[in-house]
Amino acid sequence: MDSATSSNCRRAACANPIPPGLITEQLCLDHFLDEAFVRTDQALESWNQGAPVDSQSVDWLLADALAVVNNLEAGADDPNPDQRERMLDLLLSIANLHEYAARHPLSTLPPS
Ligand SMILES: [Zn+2]
């Protein structure tokens, strides 16, 4: 049994607790933001290069946005200015991606 690891960030050498809004991600807020920024950057870059918008990407964009909003609400009475700014930056990036996705039809697998 190794239940002690469930309440801390899954990144090695990171002992930060997981906020309630990120239980499904198993990441502390800092590492979640790191990963989410990488995801949004990669999506934006590949979409700008003409890669198809797939429904899976749109799904995690929604999930990330929801997680950020949950954390903003949860931390409203104990704001950390740096983290708050990063979360707002991330929401802006996600909003831009959503706008892009909304203008492009979702790619579907060709019938075989
Ligand atoms: Zn962490």
39-73 pLDDT, tens digit per residue, is: 999 999 999 898 888 888 888 899 999 999 988 88
Rounded CA separation 63/1 (Å): 30
Question: Which pLDDT does position 103 carry in this prediction?
Answer: 87
pLDDT of residue 76: 72
- 6 pLDDT higher than 70: no
17: three-class secondary structure by DSSP: strand
Name which residue leads in pLDDT, 76 or 48.
48
Ligand 1 centroid vs 84 CA: distance in angstroms? Answer: 16
User: ∠95-101-103 over CA atoms, to 5°?
Assistant: 110
Q: What are phi and psi of 17, to 5 degrees?
A: -70, 155
Give me the residues near ligand 1 (ion), CB cutoff below 5 Å.
Answer: 9, 11, 14, 16, 28, 31
Q: What are the boundaries of each domain within the chain? A: 28-103
Distance (Å) from CA 112 to ligand 1 centroid: 43
Judged against a pLDDT cut of 60, whether residue 3 lies above it is answered with no
Ligand 1 centroid to residue 99 C-alpha, Å: 30
Q: Which two tokens stand for residue 82?
A: 């740096």
Mean pLDDT for all residues in the chain = 85
Looking at residue 112, what is its pLDDT?
58
pTM for this predicted structure: 0.80
Reference 37, options 102, 101, 86; nearest CA is 86
